[in-house]
Structure 1
Amino acid sequence: MPYATQQTIMPLPLLHNYPLLQRILISGLVLAILFTTFLSAPLALFVGLIMGLLIGNPWQKHTSVASKYALQIAVVGLGFGIDLHQVSATGLSGIIYTAITLTITLGLAFILGKTFGIKAKLSHLIGVGTAICGGSAIAAVAPTIKAEPSEISVSLAIVFILNALALFVFPVVGDWFALTQSQFGVWAAIAIHDTSSVVGAASKFGPKALEVATTLKLTRALWIIPMVLLSAFLFKNKETKLSLPLFIPLFLLASVLYTFLPIVSEAAPTVVFIAKKFLLLSLFFIGINLNLKTLRTISARPFLQGFILWVLVATGSLLAVMYL
């Protein structure tokens, strides 16, 4: 097909010639994210994608910068929700569990990425999101490896879809195999990506499952710090010096302050709430920065990688908690 014909059939943003209306709609959605509670993380990303593809984004340069810093602020703020006392309660077994599953998951992600011919950074983000704590881990690692907005949005979309699925599937499977509440708590903490879905699935199964899952999940979340360092090393080049992004020690500092200073722990729920708003904003901006040309370069293979990886991790960890 001639190039000119391709150009004529390519859809354009509906409001391409109405930048004022574009700005009004985008501003309205930003206000909705900040001052309402009906937009979840997946929905914020989805709305951003729809806006970017159909409406257009006259603030492309500004929202690209905003998405980067909003992600980093969100990661630091979420550190005020990690109690190091609870993390230490898992003991050596918790550290070993999470270290083994993290190593295996990243290894499988690498193999699947190579098998399906997926770009290294996108494959790594999918692996990191599956291995540690979903969107938060992707948010922390993405700027370190200088991932493209399309790579961030695709990896986040995969995590969100599988998280939603796990919320309904895991309690049913746990009942089917007659898992104890402690077994289910360990399984959920290891095999479900995001903390919110871990808590949701475990709470459906029982109070003891919720206690075990929450504690072990916090241990898993702290692996963000070494993962960022490892990612920076793996993706460094001659022009890039290996360095620790500032928001990572700030994330650790936030956890320390929350754990040991009562005055900080009292204010922590508010800080975490604000951090989640920044995460929603960053997801919306990531979505709205994408365009049709970029999305057309993305195949279904990353979704297949993420799904297979999730099934392998969920199955392997289920067998481990049942028989080890």
Structure 2
Amino acid sequence: MSVRRLLPGVFALCLGALLARAVGLAVGVNHLLAAIALGVVLANAVGVPERLAPGIATHKLWLGAGIVLMGASLTLDAVLEVGGIVLLLVLGVTASTLLFVEVLSRNVAGLGDQLGSLLAAGASICGVSAVVAVAGAIRAREDQIAYAAATVLLFDAVTLVVYPIVGDLLALSSTVFGVWAGVSMFSTGPVVAVGFAHSEAAGQWATMTKLARNALIGVVVLAYASYYARGSSGGRPSVRTLWDEFPKFVLGFLALVFLSSLGIFSAGQQASLENAYRWLFLLAFVGLGTEIRIGQLRSTGLTPAVVVLAALIVASTLSLAVLTVLF
């Protein structure tokens, strides 16, 4: 795709970021949540013009770039301080959520194997990205993909509102809130948004925890592909699937954490990089808001929503209970 086709949409993201920043300062709301709200208004009240769509679709690129640059503000000591506990929590919540949704979908709700697997992947790993990745591995139908994606997006929208409210009501610390959001919410964008809406430290912990979950996507896709390939003529999938599905920006994030730990960046350079990733997040969240379509959320079936809601309540409640005891 040519750069010229992307420019109008990218320019719209920049305008939205500036407006969100201005609204945040004027009204006193978090500018990242304001950016998402602006995107929602654009998509649902006006509609995204066709000429802007390609550039606005780059919002995932800006989110990844912002996460990479965020690594420069962290060190290995900070990451490892409670990293072992967080990793165990990530593995436990991810595995239990995936199995919970699978069992509930197949044995109680009667949703069918493939739709249940898509919902399980979306709820346990990284939202719509996991739905799409697993869909290719299990040869899911288009209507199943759309159904699962709409369900996940519904809860992305709900948790964007509910998590900050709960965090304030319970007066959660930055570490507890950040890890809680990272381990129990679905998609990366909303996790980063609510984390930084709470505090800088919460945003960093939310992002690091979510990256740990995202890194499991290759393993999950490979496992699903192997399971659904049983008895089919397609044979067993290649281990290359691990690399194909692995979120590459995680490597960039870790590289900058390592360089920061070596003291490569001066205080001025770190400040510049922090300012850069904040603006990149603003661009990303304006675009993220355009993906929340009220009409699509209304079309979400009740049964899949109930299954995912049950999984979210269990995962968020148990993980929060564990975190409040540990921290």
TM-score category (smaller protein):
0.5 to 0.7
Match of 2:99 in 1: 107
Is 2:178 the counterpart of 1:185?
yes
2:316 to 314, 317, 322: 314
CA offset digits 1:99-118 (Å, max 9, x no partner): 10011101210221120101
Q: CA deviation at 1:93?
A: 2.4
Contact 2:217 2:245 in 1 (8 A): no
What is the Cα deviation at residue 241 of structure 1? 1.4
Letter in 1 for 2:199: G
What is residue 249 of structure 1 aligned with on the other side?
A: 243
The amino acid of 2:93's aligned partner reads T
**One-letter code aligned to 2:138:** I
One-letter amino acid of the counterpart of residue 258, structure 1: G
Q: Which amino acid aligns with 1:243?
A: P
Deviations 1:70-93 (A, max 9, x none): x9x999998777659779735332
Distance 1:205 1:255, change over 3 A: closer
**Which residues of 2 match residues 1-324 of structure 1 at below 5 A?**
37=13, 83=68, 89=79, 91-113=83-105, 114-238=107-231, 239-244=233-238, 248-252=242-246, 254-255=248-249, 258=252, 300-324=302-326
Post-superposition, which runs of at least 4 consecutive aligned residues in structure 1 deviate over 4 A? 30-38, 73-88, 245-248, 259-262
**Deviations 1:260-308 (CA, angstroms, capped at 9, x unpaired):** 889xxx9xx9xx99xx8xx99xx89xx99xxxxxx9xx95311211122
Which whole-Å CA distance do the structure 1 matches of 2:252 and 2:158 have between them?
Answer: 32
**Secondary structure of 1:301's aligned partner:** helix
Q: Deviations over 1:119-158 (max 9, x none)?
A: 1111111111111111111121110111111111111111
3-state SS of the aligned residue for 1:143? helix
Superposition deviation, residue 254 in structure 1: 3.4
Please state how far the C-alpha of 1:180 moved relative to its aligned partner.
0.9
TM-score, normalised to structure 1, is: 0.63
Determine the C-alpha separation between the residues in 1 that align with 2:195 and 2:250: 26
Distance 1:119 1:78, change over 3 A: farther
| 8 Å CA contact 1:105, 1:127 repeated in 2 | yes
Letter in 2 for 1:193: F
Check whether the contact 1:134–1:159 (CA below 8 A) recurs between aligned residues.
yes
Give the Cα–Cα distance (whole angstroms) in 1 for the partners of residues 250 and 98 of structure 2.
Answer: 28
2:248 alignment partner, SS class: helix
Partner Cα distance (1:178, 1:76) in 2: 33
Aligned to 1:65: none
C-alpha contact (below 8 Å) 2:217/2:246 kept by paired residues: no
Give the structure 1 partner of residue 51 of structure 2: none
Q: Kindly, what percent of the aligned residue pairs are identical?
A: 26
**Aligned in 2, Cα 1:234/1:74: closer, same or farther, shift over 3 Å?**
farther
Is residue 77–residue 254 contact of structure 1 (8 Å, CA) maintained in 2? no
Query: What RMSD, in angstroms, separates the aligned Cα atoms of the two structures?
Result: 4.4
Residue 152 of structure 1 aligns to which amino acid in structure 2?
A: I
- After superposition, the Cα gap between the structure-2 partners of 1:173 and 1:299, relative to the gap in structure 1 and judged at 3 Å, is closer
SS of residue matched to 1:155? helix
Residues 87 and 218 in structure 1, CA contact (< 8 A), matched pair in contact too: no
Please tell me whether the aligned partners of residues 185 and 213 of structure 1 are also in contact (alpha carbons under 8 angstroms): yes
Query: Secondary structure at 1:111's aligned position in 2?
Result: helix
Residue pair 2:122, 2:152 contacting (<8 A) in 1 also = yes
Q: Which runs of 5+ in 1 are unaligned?
A: 1-29, 51-70, 289-294
Distance 2:135 2:75 in 1: 25
TM-score (norm. length: structure 2):
0.62
| Higher mean displacement: 302-311 or 216-225 | 302-311
Change (3 A) 1:36 1:251: farther
**Structure 2, gaps ≥5 residues long:** 1-5, 17-35, 48-56, 257-272
